[in-house]
Amino acid sequence: MNIKKQQGTTLVQRACANVKGFKALHNRLEKKIIVSGKSMSTLNNYMRCIAHIALKYNCLPTQLDLEQIEDYLLLLKKKGASEADFKLTVYGLRFLFRCEGLNDRAIKLPSIKRDKKLPVVLSPREMIELLKAPSLLKHRVLIGVLYGCGLRCQEVRSLLIKDVDFDRKVIHVRQGKGRKDRYVPLGEHLARGLKKYLDAEKPIKWLFNGKDHQQPFSPRGTQWVVREATKKTGIKKQVSVHTLRHTYATHLLEQGLDIVSIKELLGHAHIDTTMVYLHVAKAGRQIPFSPLDKLYPSEQKTQKA
């Protein structure tokens, strides 16, 4: 079961139209999201999952008892819901219950263990292949900005033309995760590519616009560009938009930049989030090797004719 694919763009609208009290609930949660400083994408993700359960039972989730909630979560598992959808459903319900003054119900929801998986990272060679894979200049530059600046999907989509400062060689990332602004370096190579792209495509407002020039490039379109480019390269790793951000951070660390600077460039609130790249990067320590290679040193492999 993929909640996103089940008419994700209209799911909340359907709930507002068909479930009594859902529209008022949506408005209350929207206010809470704005006041708490969370992003609107967080609201959209939560509301999509809340709308899904509301439509199933034809009532607000706050009107369900704990057993019905557990049955619904079990159904998600049985129907093969993605891990991301299951987590968003639990997080969304927990946020809903707390906002509605039902803290005891929020506590009774299943706890979600944090992933201990290390991020997927591309090698420099793979990154070069990915950058040249798209046939359209716009798509090549989009991938270049994602990797070259370490941006999240929402951040690259929100970039305005005026956010690119060619004189100071920086890009202004406005209201990233946690509603924080930051500046990231704009390298010479990326600056040349952006100038060429702006001259050829002539976007009006957004750096990367959608089919309608008044709207930014869609999240689905951004993911599609990276996915299609990956297919062309033959890279077997699971590559997403966020993989380019992981790759950016890891490559910076491997090239000598300190972890605190990387934290600021990524816009992380806590250094612990950034520390994961220390487990991925091959920097500041001896590169791991196989003991098998020590049994057969390279000198012994080369035989004189």
What is the reported pLDDT for 233? 95
Asked if 242 is an active-site residue, the reply is yes
Q: Which pLDDT band holds residue 10 (cuts at 50, 70, 90)?
A: confident
Asked if 147 is an active-site residue, the reply is no
CA–CA gap between residue 120 and residue 269 (Å, rounded): 21
What do you get for the CA distance between the two ends of the chain, in Å? 63
Mean per-residue pLDDT of the chain:
86
Return the structure tokens found at 294: 């020590």
What is the reported pLDDT for 214? 83
CA–CA gap between residue 237 and residue 213 (Å, rounded): 33
**Read out DSSP for 251-291?**
HHHHTT--HHHHHHHHT-SSHHHHGGGGGT---SSPPP--H
Asked if 270 is an active-site residue, the reply is no
pLDDT digits (tens, 9 = 90+) for 196-217: 999 999 999 999 998 888 889 9
Q: Which of the 8 DSSP states describes residue 86?
A: H
Kindly name the residue from 32, 98, 174, 268 that is annotated as catalytic.
268
Average pLDDT over residues 149-172: 94
Q: Which pLDDT band holds residue 305 (cuts at 50, 70, 90)?
A: very low
Kindly name the residue from 105, 139, 152, 251 that is annotated as catalytic.
152
What is the reported pLDDT for 121? 94
Asked if 237 is an active-site residue, the reply is no
Q: Which CATH number fits domain 124-279: 1.10.10.10, 3.40.640.10, 3.40.50.620, 1.10.443.10?
A: 1.10.443.10
Return the structure tokens found at 151: 């941006």
Across 77-145, where does the E strand assignment appear? none
Q: Which pLDDT band holds residue 7 (cuts at 50, 70, 90)?
A: very low
Kindly name the residue from 26, 94, 245, 246 that is annotated as catalytic.
245
Domain boundaries, given as residue ranges, for the chain: 11-108, 124-279
CATH classification code of 11-108? 1.10.150.130
In the block, residue with structure tokens 């040193």? 297
pLDDT digits (tens, 9 = 90+) for 230-269: 999 989 999 999 999 999 999 999 988 899 999 999 998 8
Q: Check whether 300 has a pLDDT greater than 80.
A: no
Kindly name the residue from 177, 246, 251, 263 that is annotated as catalytic.
177
What is the reported pLDDT for 45? 86
Asked if 98 is an active-site residue, the reply is no
Q: Are 239 and 227 in contact (CB under 8 A)?
A: yes
Asked if 231 is an active-site residue, the reply is no
CA–CA gap between residue 226 and residue 130 (Å, rounded): 8
Q: Check whether 288 has a pLDDT greater than 70.
A: no
pLDDT digits (tens, 9 = 90+) for 25-59: 999 988 888 887 777 778 888 899 999 999 999 99
Label residues 52-89 b or e (16+ Cβ within 10 Å = b). bbbbeeebbbbebeeeebeebbeebeeeebeeebbbbb
Residue 287 CB coordination number (10 Å): 6
Report percent pLDDT > 90 for the chain. Answer: 50
Residue 293 CB coordination number (10 Å): 10
pLDDT digits (tens, 9 = 90+) for 74-123: 988 888 888 888 888 989 899 999 998 888 888 888 777 766 678 899 99
Q: Which pLDDT band holds residue 298 (cuts at 50, 70, 90)?
A: low
Write down the number of H helices and E strands in the chain.
Answer: 16, 3
